[in-house]
Amino acid sequence: MKFQDEYRDAAAAKKLCQAIAEIATQPWTIMEVCGGQTHTIVRYGIDELLPQQVELVHGPGCPVCVTPLELIDKAIEIASREDVIFCSFGDMLRVPGSRSDLFEVKARGGDVRIVYSPLDCLKIAEQNPTRTVVFFAVGFETTAPANAMCVWQAKKRGIENFAVLVSHVLVPPAMEAILSSSTNRVQGFLGAGHVCSVMGYKEYEPLAQKYQIPIVVTGFEPIDLLEGIYRCVAMLERGDVG
């Protein structure tokens, strides 16, 4: 398929790996921020193709991993109520709380439903006017617009039995928490392209200047990531930041 296969081209990937090996003169540790990037790296074995001196470490960009325990416990408590229909994306159902998870609530008879869009919840709310439909709105910058639109649509359509349990987080503060740690080994970042499509990249510039590190924004296909790694290593070798 045009515009997809070319970003998975094996010959191009091999050339980029060779180019990275040629410019990497010392050990470098680079973190990919987003779980989508990690998925591609693991699926295509990108970390195994890189020269030994370039190490990739996986970042915090997964909503499942960063949702606070107290929010999981609150979700479980709300979902256990008989007057509630609790809606969530499927990957949140197995996230453990202090004593159980949402799948266990569902197994005990709680009305817990998997949705694929927050807008699905509005249809459920309209079909069940005597019950409160609660959507577990989790995620980074990329999920916030759709969740906000859902709330706006609910108000516009006069749906009063709809609510959201919100756990939105930002990527830059998570990156700064890593960089400010006394045990940090990360020397450069691969930023997530879809996050920057929503928020821009201006919030990353103060981090790059404060901690004197390169941050390269990439897409999610193998060639995207390898090009980003090449650019990040090149900047590290030159001592560039930004």
Between helix 171-179 and helix 204-211 the angle, nearest 10°, is 10
For the four alpha carbons of 152, 154, 169 and 199, in that order, the dihedral sign comes to negative
54 in the same domain as 33: yes
Q: What pLDDT, on the 0 to 100 scale, is given for residue 228?
A: 96
In order along the chain (242 residues), what is the average pLDDT of each group of 10 residues? 71 94 96 90 93 93 84 98 96 94 96 97 98 95 92 97 95 93 96 86 92 94 95 95 76
162 in the same domain as 80: yes
59 in the same domain as 18: yes
Work out how many domains the chain is built from and give that number: 2
Q: Which of 121, 147, 168 is the last residue of a domain?
A: 168
Q: Which of 149, 168, 187 is the last residue of a domain?
A: 168
Q: Which domain holds residue 180?
A: 5-63+171-238
59 in the same domain as 177: yes
**pTM, rounded to two decimals:** 0.83
Centre a 10 Å sphere on the Cβ of residue 159 and count the other Cβ atoms it contains: 18
CATH code where residue 213 lies: 3.40.50.11750
73 in the same domain as 103: yes
214 in the same domain as 232: yes
